């Protein structure tokens, strides 16, 4: 669309140098905006990651009564396996349940001494995983319906729904908040770029007038200004990426150094996260930069 000839690049460079202070100001503000945006993006991406992890582990556990029969267990297993919403059905014996329970207990706990394999209070259970975490509620009610037939040997159906719901709600809140911040910061960045380019255009209005009289096309006149806007956006995007990357490494180091282990293990890896962010920032910077320039110059092209 545009003739990116040498003179276009030269003009853009010249004008950046001439307005170096204003250019710097708009780069700094846009970088600041992008950094704040980046912080929210990092939080959102991590929440999504943790949510996915939790959802992946989300399950319904069907506990059996102490005196259930093999027939009841087989019937239940059979019933569960026929349900096509269910991904897997896993049997947990009394022994495994006890072993898992003991692992969670401190060895010095008085309880640890009283429980042993001869006196095992843990129930047998079936662990049900859904193909889609959203359908766990439906599966649960299906199992409840099955239990209403009576004589099923089911003691209790456990489902950690509230936990996931809270996380989903929080994630949703962060998403909305993030969207709001993005919009506000976009408007600010847009006006900063717009003003910078407008100053440039104003300084060169005489030249633009001459160009129009000699028969330069609008695109030709516009190109260096759009290039300048895009360049400001790119510099801001790169600076912001660097800042967010450094910050994220620092925070991750701090978290893992402070033994908050279960959290950090599930956090997004910095390289993957920064890879996504840099692309997003660049696209954002170029877009805001060129739109700002485009609007700034439009008025001056009416000759």
Partner 1 sequence: MIEFDNVTKTYEKNEKDALKDINLRIESGEFVFLVGRSGAGKSTFIKLLLREIDATKGVVRIKGHDISKLSKSQIPYLRRKLGVVFQDFRLLENKNVYENVAYAMEIIGRPEKKIRKKVPLALSMVGLSDRMYHYPHELSGGEQQRVVIARAIINNPSILICDEPTGNLDPETSKDIMRILLEINRHGTTTVVVTHDMNIVRLLNKRVLTLENGILTGDSSKGGIANV
Q: Give the residues lining the site for partner 1 (CB under 8 A).
A: 3, 5, 7, 206-207, 209-218, 220-221, 303
Q: How far is the CB of 17 from partner 1 (least distance, A)?
A: 12
Q: How far is the CB of 199 from partner 1 (least distance, A)?
A: 17
The nearer residue to partner 1, 3 or 246, going by C-beta atoms, is 3
The nearer residue to partner 1, 115 or 199, going by C-beta atoms, is 199
The nearer residue to partner 1, 15 or 152, going by C-beta atoms, is 15
The answer to whether 182 touches 165, Cβ cutoff 8 Å, is no
The nearer residue to partner 1, 124 or 228, going by C-beta atoms, is 228
Q: How far is the CB of 10 from partner 1 (least distance, A)?
A: 10
Sign of the CA dihedral running 182, 185, 191, 193 = negative
Burial class (CB in 10 A: 0-12, 13-18, 19+), 108: exposed
Sign of the CA dihedral running 274, 276, 281, 283 = positive
Burial class (CB in 10 A: 0-12, 13-18, 19+), 14: middle
The nearer residue to partner 1, 115 or 301, going by C-beta atoms, is 301
Q: In what order do the strands lie in the sheet with 86-92?
A: 86-92, 125-130, 59-64, 154-159
CA distance linking residue 98 with residue 103, whole number of Å: 9
- Give residue for tokens 């939790």: 54
Q: How far is the CB of 233 from partner 1 (least distance, A)?
A: 26
How many other C-beta atoms lie within 10 A of the C-beta of residue 289?
30
The nearer residue to partner 1, 18 or 161, going by C-beta atoms, is 18
Rg (CA), the chain: 31
Q: How far is the CB of 201 from partner 1 (least distance, A)?
A: 15
Q: How far is the CB of 210 from partner 1 (least distance, A)?
A: 5
């Amino acid at each position: 669309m545009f003739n990116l000839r040498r003179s276009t690049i030269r003009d853009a460079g010249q004008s950046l140098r001439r307005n170096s202070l204003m250019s710097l100001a708009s780069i700094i503000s846009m970088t600041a905006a992008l950094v704040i945006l980046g912080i929210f993006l990092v939080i959102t991406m991590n929440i999504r990651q943790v949510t996915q992890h939790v959802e992946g582990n989300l399950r319904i556990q069907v506990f059996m009564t102490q005196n259930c029969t093999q027939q009841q267990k087989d019937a239940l297993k059979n019933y569960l396996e026929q349900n096509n919403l269910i991904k897997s059905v896993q049997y947990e014996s009394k022994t495994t349940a006890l072993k898992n329970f003991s692992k969670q207990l401190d060895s010095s706990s008085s309880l640890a001494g009283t429980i042993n394999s001869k006196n095992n209070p843990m129930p047998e259970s079936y662990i049900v995983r859904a193909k889609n975490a959203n359908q766990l509620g439906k599966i649960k009610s299906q199992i409840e319906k099955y239990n209403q037939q009576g004589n099923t040997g089911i003691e209790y159906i456990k489902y950690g729904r509230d936990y996931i719901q809270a996380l989903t709600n929080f994630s949703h809140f962060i998403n909305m908040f993030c969207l709001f911040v993005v919009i506000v910061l976009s408007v600010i960045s847009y006006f900063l770029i717009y003003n910078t380019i407008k100053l440039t255009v104003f300084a060169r209005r005489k030249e633009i007038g001459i160009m129009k009289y000699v028969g330069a096309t609008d695109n030709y006149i516009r190109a260096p200004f759009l290039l300048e806007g895009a360049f400001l956006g790119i510099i801001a995007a790169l600076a912001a990426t660097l800042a967010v990357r450094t910050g994220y490494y620092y925070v991750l180091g701090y978290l893992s150094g402070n033994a908050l282990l279960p959290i950090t293990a599930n956090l997004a890896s910095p390289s993957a996260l920064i890879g996504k962010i840099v692309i997003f920032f660049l696209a954002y910077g170029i877009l805001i930069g060129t739109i700002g320039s485009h609007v700034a110059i439009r008025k001056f092209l009416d000759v």
